[in-house]
Structure 1
Amino acid sequence: MNDAPTPDANQTLLHPLTGRYALVTGATRGIGQATAVALAKAGAHVIAIGRTSGALEELDDAITEAGSSATLVPMDVKDFEAIDRLGGALYERFGRLDVFIGNAGILGPMTPLAQVEPKEWDDIVAINLTANYRLVRSLDPLLRLSTAGRAVLVSSGAAHKARAYWGPYAVTKAAVEVLARTWAAETANLSNLRVNLLNPGPVRTRMRAKAFPSEDPETLPTPDEVAEAILALCLPSFEETGRLYDFPTRRLVDFHLPG
């Protein structure tokens, strides 16, 4: 059941996630890809979820080069029944899950709300919000089995603004924040699970280029830089929960979980 190596003291210092299992959605590009590699470099066995088999295989090569291993899961996060099956499959193979990174997301239509097509609305809600709920439902029992379960959901500064034409994206990211904060409140005193959020801010990704096509990407942080911040939230030594790490300001935001 457990095919990850047992860490010794030196491994734990150099590779703090040795012997741990980390699942990343949207793992084949951008922040997700960089985070998967960062987790692998820290010693984790990475369970990589993405839609494209070829891109997953390229990620597998990068993870092997980083000195770790991966389980590749070609899956569309809109396939909710597949998400439901995922938890059971992971339990059968690994017996638990140590890290969950909810990164998969789309920008969606950037048009006035009244002009958003219902299918476009349904798609962005399904990918950005409902998929994360279904993943929480499927993975929560596995994360509670870990000695130091860590979940990080990727949010956006758009969640705190009401900028014209960003409605569907902003609404879903705001909802993801409440989802994560609720999950954190429910697990704060009952398990070893810690649930946090990360706002990457402007980052050199395809999504950013789509939203701001005239922006010089060389002026922006890289996904690798953001991945290091996400990695820090995944370590067993990070004990905070219900917080948002704001990457642009490099600070934790406290949502004041109920005592």
Structure 2
Amino acid sequence: MSVNLSGKVALVTGASRGIGYFTALELAKAGAHVVACARTVGGLEDLDDAIRAVGGSATLVPFDLADMNAIDALGASIFERWGKLDILVANAGVLGVISPIGHIEAKVFEKVMTINVTATWRLIRSVDPLLTRSEAGRAVILSSAAAHRCRPFWGAYSASKAAVEALARTWAGETQSTALRVTSVDPGATRTAMRAQAVPGEDPETLPHPSEVAKAMMPLLAPDYTETGKLFIVRENKLVGYQMPG
């Protein structure tokens, strides 16, 4: 399905590689101006070149999501330049370590929670007023099957993604009477650097490319998408609804 996002402003975190990179590119192809955030300047510059090659435009914002003041300033800057935000894709995250809970170092656990949970909350707080100013605000929060499976040794990451889903569902409930639609997406096993870190012996060629996940998510960012508070799983390049409790 073709999505027309001409005139829209889209913010993507973790945009220098993987799912974030290709989602930013798909948004640009659809006509949106992309505000691309990541720590890696080189990756953002590569993205900018790719976006320009397809006739799109982007604003690059290199910063670390651990910098909460920078997240606050980002929302203010978007307001000053555009007065609103139409799309948020909160993609950035870290794995931490695959380890028994009792063996995780405090600084590692705290980093996972800071980047995956606290920064996501801070980002929501920063851009919520901007998204509700849009006539069709759309937010996709990237989750993971780890939030539900809670497999041994994945404690920090699983807890962080469960918290992120709770934030997304709560936000969706609080904004359901507005034009903002909030969705959680579990991209499934994907050919990314994080997946390689988590499962080092896996053949990446057996996994879907992140560009396929990006294309599958695009309908959730369209102005005519109407549902809110749902979790979708990407399987075989398609969105499958997941029934969450109560």
CA RMSD of aligned residues (A): 1.4
1-structure distance, mates of 2:8, 2:243: 27
Residue 210 (1) aligns with residue 197 (2) = yes
Q: Retained in 2: the 8 A contact 1:15–1:41?
A: no
- Aligned residue number for residue 23 of structure 1: 11
1-structure distance, mates of 2:159, 2:91: 16
1:55 to 43, 46, 55: 43
1:126 to 114, 126, 139: 114
Residue 173 (1) aligns with residue 161 (2) = yes
Residue 83 (1) aligns with residue 71 (2) = yes
Structure 2 portions without partners, runs of 5+: none
SS of residue in 2 equivalent to 1:123: helix
Matches within 5 A, 1:218-229: 218-229=205-216
- Aligned residue number for residue 71 of structure 1: 59
1-structure distance, mates of 2:159, 2:152: 12
Go from structure 1 to structure 2 and tell me whether the alpha carbon gap of 1:80 and 1:185 turns closer, same or farther (over 3 Å shift).
same
**Residue 54 (structure 1) shift:** 1.6
Matches within 5 A, 1:1-259: 16-189=4-177, 191-248=178-235, 250-255=239-244
1-structure distance, mates of 2:97, 2:142: 19
2-structure distance, mates of 1:166, 1:14: 37
Amino acid at match of 1:56: L
Bigger mean CA offset, 137-146 vs 247-256: 247-256
SS of residue in 2 equivalent to 1:156: coil
Q: Retained in 1: the 8 A contact 2:3–2:218?
A: no
Taking structure 1 as the reference length, what is the TM-score of the superposition? 0.91
Amino acid at match of 2:223: P
SS of residue in 2 equivalent to 1:247: strand
Taking structure 2 as the reference length, what is the TM-score of the superposition? 0.96
Q: Retained in 2: the 8 A contact 1:242–1:254?
A: no
- Of all paired residues, the percent bearing the same amino acid is 53
Structure 1 portions without partners, runs of 5+: 1-12
Q: Deviations over 1:173-229 (max 9, x none)?
A: 00000000000000011x100000100110011111111111111111110110012
Q: Deviations over 1:87-134 (max 9, x none)?
A: 111000011000000000011011111111110011000111110000
**Residue 248 (structure 1) shift:** 2.1
**Residue 53 (structure 1) shift:** 1.5
1-structure distance, mates of 2:162, 2:182: 16
Aligned pair count? 244
